[in-house]
Amino acid sequence: MRMVKVLILEDEYLIRESLKKIAYGNHLVDMVIDTHHAKEAIRLAKEHKPDIILLDIGLEGEGLNGIEAAKRIDELNPGTYFVFITGHSEYVFESFQVHPYEYILKPFTEERVKKVISSLADRIAKGNNYITNQENIVIKTKDEICFIRQDDVIFAEKQDKYTLIHTKDNILKTDKTLNEFEERLGKNFFRVHKSFIVNFNKVKMIKEVSTRSYEIEFYGYDKNALMSRYKFEKYKDIFIPS
């Protein structure tokens, strides 16, 4: 099991020190390099080839911002995972150019950063560090911007004017409509009801609960989704092949 290297680009000293402490708190991290200069971060990335980079976007007195630095580092080290930690939510879509693993808004909680580092470090240390970033979707909740791999989504449901995204670890609430969410999903997702979209790969069982609807159960998850009779007839050859 190999150890993990982390690079931090942050121009605020106290925040940089806090991130260093959090990173070193992970037992799989054996090196943390930090700087407050974008150009220095590029040089350090070339020299040390970090696995994970935690970086701010708006850097005081810099000719380059964090996204521009990330682009140059990505060209040098394509396998690097970028985690933007910033007070600037308006840059979220521009950051897609380097396919960040996560986008955390300041003020951040220590627990949130720990969780992201732990998730990445575990994956990298086990050698399972390839992530198809293009399969990520972005969920903007009330106070967070979350990058989620499509395969982690179990199902999505409409609830009043919101959409709830169910994953194994939590439920995210967004004001994006179910229709908007559906447009961003891959071929393994099916609209099985006007209020539900399910990940076919997570479906464990479909059972009839009335003459007009079915209930879908999922592997390793205790919440269910509904399926209309019309959608069952439409998709039954997929869900129940002959």
In a domain, residue 136? The reply is no
Per-residue confidence band for 194, with pLDDT thresholds at 50, 70 and 90: very high
Same domain, 41 and 120: yes
- What is residue 63's predicted lDDT score, i.e. its pLDDT? 76
pLDDT for the residue 185: 82
- Domain shared by 13 and 105, yes or no: yes
| Residues 11 and 106 occupy one common structural domain | yes
> Residue 127: inside a domain, yes or no?
yes
- Percent of all residues in the chain with a pLDDT value above 90, rounded to a whole number: 56
How many domains would you assign to the chain?
A: 2
The reply to whether 64 and 155 lie within a common domain is no
Residue 140 lies in a domain: no
Q: Give me the residues paired with residue 159 across strands.
A: 162
Question: Does 82 share its domain with 163?
Answer: no
Residue 239, pLDDT > 80, answer no
Co-location of 126 and 9 in the same domain: yes
Domain assignment present for residue 175? The answer is yes
- pLDDT the model gives residue 82: 93
Higher pLDDT, 129 or 201: 201
Residues 116, 171 share a domain: no
* Confidence (pLDDT) at 137: 78
Judge if 45 and 84 occupy the same domain.
yes
Question: Residue 176: what pLDDT?
Answer: 84
Average of pLDDT values for 128-145? 63
The answer as to whether 224 is a domain residue is: yes
Q: Classify residue 144: in a domain, yes or no.
A: no
Range(s) of the domain holding residue 18: 4-131
The region of weakest confidence among 30-44, 58-72, 153-167 is: 58-72
Task: Name the residue with higher pLDDT: 155 or 141.
Answer: 155
How confident is the model over 81-119, as pLDDT tens digits? 999 998 877 777 777 778 788 888 889 999 999 999 998
Contact status, residue 7 vs residue 45, Cβ threshold 8 Å:
yes
Is 170 found in the same domain as 98? no
pLDDT (0 to 100) of residue 133 = 44
By the 10 Å C-beta count (0-12 exposed, 13-18 middle, 19+ buried), 149 is classed as middle
- Mean pLDDT of all residues in the chain? 87
* Whether residues 121 and 228 fall in one domain: no
Q: Give a yes or no: residue 47 inside a domain.
A: yes
Number of Cα atoms under 13 Å in the Cβ half of residue 43? 7
In a domain, 143, yes or no: no
pLDDT at 132 over 50: no
pLDDT digits (tens, 9 = 90+) for 38-79: 999 999 999 999 999 999 998 876 678 899 999 999 999 888
DSSP letters, 179-226, are HHHHHT--TTEEEEETTEEEEGGGEEEEEE-SSSEEEEEETTEEEEEE
pLDDT recorded at residue 155: 97
Same domain? 111 vs 196? no
Q: In this structure, are 80 and 184 located in the same domain?
A: no
